[in-house]
Amino acid sequence: MNRVSIIRVNEYSGIYQAIESSINLVGSFDLKGKRVLLKPNCLMPSKNAITSPEIVGNIAKWVKNKGGTPIIGDSPMSGGKTALEIYKKVKYKGKSGFDIITEIENEVEWTSFLENPILISKEIMKFQRLEKTAISSNFVNADFIINIPKWKTHFLTKFTGGVKNYWGVQIGKVKSRSHSYGNSPDKFSVVLTDLYSYIKKINKDNLIIMDAINIMHGTGGPSFGVMKELGLIITATNSVSLDSVAVSIGGINPFNVPTLKYCHQRGLGIADLNQIEILGNSINDVKCKLNFPTITIGDTLGLLQPLYSRATRKIPRVKRYKCIKCGTCIDLCPTGSISLNKITQYPEFRRSTCISCLCCVEGCPNHAIKAHSAGIYGIIGLV
Ligand code: SF4
Ligand code: SF4
């Protein structure tokens, strides 16, 4: 079923009503007696970078009203080990003043994605690039999954929505290691497609409700970027179709987002808008021009491609005036390429082992690391 609903929140009397209407448009769901895992994006304690707590809280209420048990979990990149820790740090109430901690902390279960990993590997799953990873059993063993991504651009993959939000079901630092299997935007998109193929295989891409109320676009996503109020909730039962509609609202063709193209080609979902039934508002009703990061055009350059790749390879640099010397980036680096300078205590990068995964950029709690193109230094092999 390739239905996607687009709902304008301000056309309803509240967020709960908007969410319920968006869900009813894509299907009916029997949650009675089921343990329902809600998977928001809790990347880091920054209100702009996470799924709004008022969306998560109201979905939890909807699950309870349907007779299910809501459980909220994520594996953040930095600033906390659980979704609860992130929401407690952010203290963000959303536009309606909904305080997730006061209103539902004790009404739902909060889970960690750190224990009892389920190991999966390339051989067993027939992945193309992802060698091995570890998925939280708390995710795998839930009866029903509600994936709750936030609409954000991503400097590597152009867009992070429903498909990319499953990155956070890998436990703790395993996420950083998985980055190392895709050391370019294109290869990383293949890794993401591999992971999503596992989610589909175990039948966990059940219901996806995207927070597109205050979205983040521009080149700094997924950690920081330009905020814009779209005021939308987008809902579907397949992440590929949902993301395809979401990027089309922002003005780009879904097939220009490598992950969506690969998922479509591998039969994991539909990215072709002609094959998606769009309910509620149309894309044209809500369309606006949003800025997406550009991705390498190296594939079209033939023999010049290696030079182009070396010049456009992203390398991290520290903005010292922002760095608080916390060392988080050292923990996040999958290749051990970061150390603190013994005298200044600022991070230093070992370029020879850096794979340009940009986990350090994504996870720095103070946005103190920026990705630069290697330029001429990359071409002559100095970085
Ligand atoms: S660059 Fe960021 S993560 Fe690394 S030490 Fe500085 S503030 Fe911490
Ligand atoms: S230094 Fe940063 S970009 Fe390079 S491998 Fe480590 S985390 Fe990835």
Ligand nearest to the CA of 333: 2
Ligand nearest to the CA of 156: 2
Bridge partners (DSSP) of residue 136 are 117
- Residues 140, 111 contacting (CB under 8 angstroms): no
CA 338 to ligand 2: nearest atom = 1
Tokens at 40, concatenated? 């928001």
Q: pLDDT at residue 34 above 60?
A: yes
Rounded Cα distance between 62 and 52, Å, is 16
The number of C-alpha atoms within 13 Å of 134 and in the hemisphere containing its C-beta is 12
Domains of the chain, CATH where assigned: 3-286 (3.40.50.11440), 298-379 (3.30.70.20)
The three-point CA angle 137-270-243 to 5° equals: 65
Q: To test ligand 1's pocket by mutation, which of 43, 46, 318, 339 has the most ligand atoms within 8 angstroms of CB?
A: 318
Bridge partners (DSSP) of residue 170 are 135
| pLDDT score recorded for residue 299 | 47
Work out the average pLDDT over 328-335. 88
**Which of 147, 131, 151 has the alpha carbon at shortest distance from 139?**
147
Q: How far is the CA of 375 from the centre of ligand 2 (A)?
A: 17
227 CA to centre of own chain: 16
Nearest CA to ligand 2 atom 4: 354
Q: To test ligand 2's pocket by mutation, which of 77, 313, 356, 364 has the most ligand atoms within 8 angstroms of CB?
A: 356
Each residue's pLDDT tens digit, 231-251 = 999 999 999 999 999 999 999
Each residue's pLDDT tens digit, 109-128 = 999 999 889 999 998 899 99
Within 8 A by CB and 6+ apart from 141, the residues are: none
pLDDT band at 375 (very low <50, low <70, confident <90, very high): confident
Q: How far is the CA of 327 from the centre of ligand 2 (A)?
A: 13
Rounded Cα distance between 56 and 38, Å, is 8
Q: Does the beta carbon of 330 lie inside 6 Å of ligand 2?
A: no
Q: Does the beta carbon of 337 lie inside 6 Å of ligand 2?
A: yes
Residue 181, Ramachandran bin (φ over 0: left; ψ between -120 and 50: alpha; else beta): alpha
Within 8 A by CB and 6+ apart from 84, the residues are: 72, 105, 110
Each residue's pLDDT tens digit, 183-214 = 788 999 999 999 999 999 999 999 999 999 99
Q: How far is the CA of 330 from the centre of ligand 1 (A)?
A: 8
Q: What is the pTM of this model?
A: 0.85
Mean pLDDT of the chain: 91
